[in-house]
């Protein structure tokens, strides 16, 4: 199963079936990049002298770039249109998952991070992302 979201079913040629709602959600969440984010932030937090918030923001920025590049590479097909919409949604999905799982945001007092809002945003975005039309 590739990462590209298939919106058309090519039954006459024996091609892949169009993705359903659940498979679209799975393909839009860059789980491998989120797993990397969790591993790195966990390692940083467990260090005896953890780096400051600025280092976590830099790692977050690298994660955003990597999520976009990885999705672009995994979803690209030379015979189809560029996966612009899928890359944008997947990159934003990484941001939502990074926000919900912590990282630099919980270290800011009160205003930027709220665990309840983070959880609600994660559930809402994950379910709503499957409704985004892909060309």
Is 109 part of a structural domain of the chain?
Answer: yes
State which residues form the domain around 67: 21-129
Is 135 part of a structural domain of the chain?
Answer: no
Is 122 part of a structural domain of the chain?
Answer: yes
pLDDT digits (tens, 9 = 90+) for 64-83: 999 999 999 999 988 888 99
Predicted confidence (pLDDT) at residue 105 exceeds the cutoff of 80 = no
Q: Summarize the confidence of residues 31-44 as an average pLDDT.
A: 91
Predicted confidence (pLDDT) at residue 9 exceeds the cutoff of 70 = no
Considering its fold, how many domains does the chain have in total?
1
Q: Which residues of 97-121 are buried (b: 16+ CB within 10 A; e: fewer)?
A: bbbbbbbbbeeeeeeebeeeebeeb
Q: Take residue 86 and report the two structure tokens written for it.
A: 């899928």
Is 67 part of a structural domain of the chain?
Answer: yes
Is 4 part of a structural domain of the chain?
Answer: no
Is 9 part of a structural domain of the chain?
Answer: no
pTM recorded for the entire structure: 0.86
pLDDT band at 110 (very low <50, low <70, confident <90, very high): low
Q: What is the pLDDT of residue 126?
A: 93
């Amino acid at each position: 199963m590739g990462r590209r979201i298939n919106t058309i079913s090519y039954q006459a040629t024996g091609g892949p079936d169009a993705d359903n709602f659940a498979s679209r959600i799975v393909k839009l969440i860059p789980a491998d990049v989120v797993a990397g984010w969790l591993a790195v932030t966990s390692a940083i937090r467990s260090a005896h002298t953890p780096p400051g918030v600025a280092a976590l923001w830099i790692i977050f920025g690298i994660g955003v770039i990597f999520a976009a590049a990885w999705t672009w590479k995994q979803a690209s097909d030379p015979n189809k249109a560029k996966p612009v919409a899928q890359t944008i949604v997947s990159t934003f999905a990484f941001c939502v998952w990074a926000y919900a799982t912590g990282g630099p945001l919980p270290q800011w007092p009160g205003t930027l991070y709220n665990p309840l809002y983070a959880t609600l945003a994660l559930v809402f975005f994950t379910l709503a992302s499957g409704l985004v039309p892909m060309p």
